[in-house]
Amino acid sequence: MDVGILTYQALNGLTIGAMYALIALGYTMVYGIIELINFAHGDVFMVGTFVTLWLLTTLGVQGAINNPALLVILLLVMFAFSMTIMGLVGVLIERFAYRPLRRAPRLAPLITAIGVSFILQNVIQATYGTAPLNTPQVIDPEAGVTFSMPTFNVGGFAVTSSNVFLPYVHVFIIVLAIALIVALQVFVQRTRLGRAMRSTAIDRDAAQLMGVDINTTIALTFFIGSALAGAAGVAWCMNYGNTKFDIGFQAGLKSFTAAVLGGIGNTTGAALGGFLIAFVEVFSSQLGYARWSEAIVFSILILVLVFKPTGLLGQQLAERA
């Protein structure tokens, strides 16, 4: 048994999981507050990668930045830019596609969500074309640390370890995602606006009677969720160095699976689900089932919904007519 490969794949899973977790948070927050599956959310993430590509092209960034001070500034600019733009896009989507249908039959906003998803995809496709585009990787993907895991041999059970290469960009993405998740938790649990969000999620009418501005609160939820998807978009560009107009569909479905697996409406659950789904994906590829990893993830989605619809950490939601 080679712990080196296991460790490498686990770190890989953490990196991919960090991105899924960031996207899944948007799904779970929106579902928590207005009970809508925001099908367009995966495409918001995809647009985030293109916003990053546009920014880097405009700034004239070609590849890795070696000056530490410059790199920090550039990273701050990239995240601030992508998160702000995507947050505003999310607010616009909510304002024009979902808010007018808030009291319409449930089917109506679901259909507009699908429509918005296709609009975003096709606007990007019309602007950037269908071919995958390379994005500059501002943190050199070749830079990193190499280490090996301890090895031992107990009664003929030999555990070996090949060298593990951990790029700094993976470390950065994992740390960033965890920081954002913790910040979101603090925001939702400790601040006045977070309390408004939670109370709106529990009972919109009662929250309104207590003086919560429902429209602002829902718009804020969309802003935060979409901004996190924008952050995931930047992370995607840094990790893979390329993007394509249709990455949002798969990433969105997997992240939604993550949100459901963790318990929809529960932010900690969404983060946990993101990491779990990424592990499933990475290790199924490692075992030689790369072609089946999507099918495995969706089977998990169906099985979770059938046997434990509340997810791992979710609570029973009352049926609302």
Q: Which residues contact another protein by CB under 8 A?
A: 35-37, 96-97, 100-112, 114-119, 121-123, 125-126, 249, 253, 256-257, 260, 291-292, 294-295, 298-299, 301-302, 305-306, 309, 319, 321
Nearer to another protein, 113 or 174 (CB): 113
Residue 199 Cβ vs another protein, minimum distance, rounded to whole Å: 20
d(CA 303, CA 176): 31
Nearer to another protein, 154 or 319 (CB): 319
Residue 301 Cβ vs another protein, minimum distance, rounded to whole Å: 5
d(CA 122, CA 127): 8
Nearer to another protein, 64 or 317 (CB): 317
Nearer to another protein, 53 or 301 (CB): 301
Nearer to another protein, 84 or 310 (CB): 310
Give, in degrees to the nearest 5, the angle at Cα 185 between 237 and 16.
30
3-state DSSP call for residue 229? helix
Residue 258 Cβ vs another protein, minimum distance, rounded to whole Å: 12
3-state DSSP call for residue 141? coil
d(CA 8, CA 130): 32
d(CA 292, CA 228): 28
d(CA 132, CA 143): 24
DSSP letter for each residue of 21-72: HHHHHHHHHHHHHH----TTHHHHHHHHHHHHHHHHHHHT--S----HHHHH
Residue 42 Cβ vs another protein, minimum distance, rounded to whole Å: 11
Q: How far from the centroid of its chain's Cα atoms is residue 138's Cα?
A: 20
For 183, other C-beta atoms within 10 Å of its C-beta total 11
The terminus-to-terminus CA distance of the chain in angstroms comes to: 54
3-state DSSP call for residue 111? helix
Nearer to another protein, 77 or 111 (CB): 111
Residue 306 Cβ vs another protein, minimum distance, rounded to whole Å: 4
Residue 227 Cβ vs another protein, minimum distance, rounded to whole Å: 23
Q: How far from the centroid of its chain's Cα atoms is residue 57's Cα?
A: 24
Residue 290 Cβ vs another protein, minimum distance, rounded to whole Å: 10
Nearer to another protein, 29 or 176 (CB): 29
